[in-house]
Structure 1
Amino acid sequence: MRTRRWPGVALAVAGLVTVAACSTGTDAVVEGGTFEFVSPGGQTKIFYDPPASRGTAPELAGEDLMQPGRQIGLSDFDGKVVVVNIWGSWCGPCRAEMPALQQVYDQTKDTGVQLLGIDVRDEPRTAPQDFIRDRAVTYPSIYDPPGRSLLALKGYPRNVVPSTIVLDRRHRVAAVFLTALLAGDLLPVVRRLSAEPTTPQGQPS
């Protein structure tokens, strides 16, 4: 595993902080109604506002890490804010951020927030399963060693691990983190999204 520290980058978004990631890749922006990754220039924390500017994420699905044969995906969490975290038990920054992700999940799951991991480059399966058990992680993960589920995200930098995509209640991309996270990075984002006003039909505007 090769670890690289991201350099600090000035963004229009306040409060940018960069931390170590296992590898590097392109950044993310949104164009039109469908979310796509491109390379705008070294950004590692990107936020999309107002909500109408957000692109919709494709379905991300695969086999449940802890329950072989069971399929799980975004469509199982309709109407919820979903935090998709790409990780691997082999990745040092992933090991460091996992307790923070569990903390955020514990504090927000009752407000309509769901975490969903995508475990990549992990074989045999017992390694990530032991990783999850040892850390008492309670949110599910897709087991996807080759990262095939991520192909649905056009242009997604699959070599960036860990990385996190935060979806609003309509599963539009509201934030992208191409870096490891602290609870303080993620918690305000998911709280804000879970509290976003809804239309009369019950959907975020």
Structure 2
Amino acid sequence: MRPLRALAPVLAAAVIAVGATGCATGSDAVAQGGTFEFVSPGGQTSIFYDPPADRGTVGDLKGPDLMEEGKTTALSDFPDQVVVINIWGQWCGPCRGEAGDLEQVYEATREQGVQFLGINVRDLQKDKAQDFVVDNGVGYPSIYDPSFRSLLALGANYPTTVVPTTIVLDREHRVAAIFLTELLASDLQPVVERIAAEPADGSE
């Protein structure tokens, strides 16, 4: 298990602090059509939202594609698919640590109707973020979002201070799980496969 696990209390404290102060962009996110509101019970770093009928939707998540100039990449590009969103930066050591594991899960689950979507944050030098994608063999697209503008779609009180974060959306693009920590493939793959196997109508 990676050393970052020891940082869980620090990450949890950051989440609690953000939740206590509230996010100034919450009303903007609601305006984009999302119903999801972030809650971390007891400062947990692995959060699951069940049953499916109780899950909230994110808003209109989209932004400039990191690798393809002039292209907009959006969550709506992946209808009826489970979407795994990973928030990352090339400056982030844990992001480098988990890149291979995320790619492994992506390759293992894509035939089950699963798509991965990165959101690159705080990288003002776009070429460095692009080098990260190439050097780590990342096969899925990323939105380039250095200013966190695209993350408005993730809803009220979302803790943008926690990087990396991984969010698993079900086939209706409702938030099913959030991980506020670096992941191993063994952490993520069973969760993704379980959500991909849920009935199409979201019933249990």
TM-score by length of 2: 0.83
SS in 2 for 1:5: helix
Which string of whole-angstrom CA distances, capped at 9 and with x for unpartnered residues, describes residues 131-182 of structure 1? 1001111100000101111112221111110001100000011001111111
Deviates more, 1:53-62 or 1:98-107: 53-62
Following TM superposition, by how much is the alpha carbon of 1:24 offset from its aligned partner in structure 2, in angstroms?
3.2
Task: Give RMSD over aligned pairs.
Answer: 2.0
Equivalent in the alignment of 1:101: 102
Which residue type is aligned with residue 164 of structure 1? T
Deviates more, 1:52-61 or 1:33-42: 33-42
SS in 1 for 2:60: coil
Following TM superposition, by how much is the alpha carbon of 1:129 offset from its aligned partner in structure 2, in angstroms?
0.3
Q: Runs of at least 4 residues of structure 1 off by over 3 A? A: none
SS in 2 for 1:78: coil
Equivalent in the alignment of 2:28: none
Following TM superposition, by how much is the alpha carbon of 1:52 offset from its aligned partner in structure 2, in angstroms?
1.0
SS in 2 for 1:6: helix
Matched, 1:114 2:104: no
Q: Of 171, 174, 179, which aligns to 2:173?
A: 171
For 2:172 and 2:156, locate their aligned partners in 1 and report how far apart those are by CA, in whole Å.
19
Q: 1:204 to 1:145 in 2, by over 3 A?
A: same
Q: Relative to total residues, which structure has the larger helix share, 1 or 2?
A: 2
Equivalent in the alignment of 2:30: none
Identify unmatched segments of 5+ residues in structure 1.
8-19
Q: Of 183, 193, 196, which aligns to 2:195?
A: 193
For 1:174 and 1:38, locate their aligned partners in 2 and report how far apart those are by CA, in whole Å.
12
Give the count of matched residue pairs: 182
Following TM superposition, by how much is the alpha carbon of 1:50 offset from its aligned partner in structure 2, in angstroms?
1.4
Following TM superposition, by how much is the alpha carbon of 1:39 offset from its aligned partner in structure 2, in angstroms?
4.8
SS in 1 for 2:110: helix
SS in 1 for 2:37: strand
Which residue type is aligned with residue 15 of structure 2? G
Following TM superposition, by how much is the alpha carbon of 1:111 offset from its aligned partner in structure 2, in angstroms?
0.9
Q: Relative to total residues, which structure has the larger strand share, 1 or 2?
A: 1
Which residue type is aligned with residue 158 of structure 1? T
For 1:117 and 1:155, locate their aligned partners in 2 and report how far apart those are by CA, in whole Å.
20
For 1:87 and 1:53, locate their aligned partners in 2 and report how far apart those are by CA, in whole Å.
28
Which residue type is aligned with residue 173 of structure 1? V
Q: Of 154, 162, 165, which aligns to 1:160?
A: 162
Q: 1:118 to 1:137 in 2, by over 3 A?
A: same
Following TM superposition, by how much is the alpha carbon of 1:65 offset from its aligned partner in structure 2, in angstroms?
0.3
TM-score by length of 1: 0.83
Identify unmatched segments of 5+ residues in structure 2.
20-33
Equivalent in the alignment of 2:53: 52
Report if the CA contact (8 A) 2:102-2:185 is conserved: yes
Alignment of 1:1-150 (within 5 A): 5-7=7-9, 24-26=14-16, 34-150=35-151
Identity of aligned residues (%): 60
Which residue type is aligned with residue 91 of structure 1? C
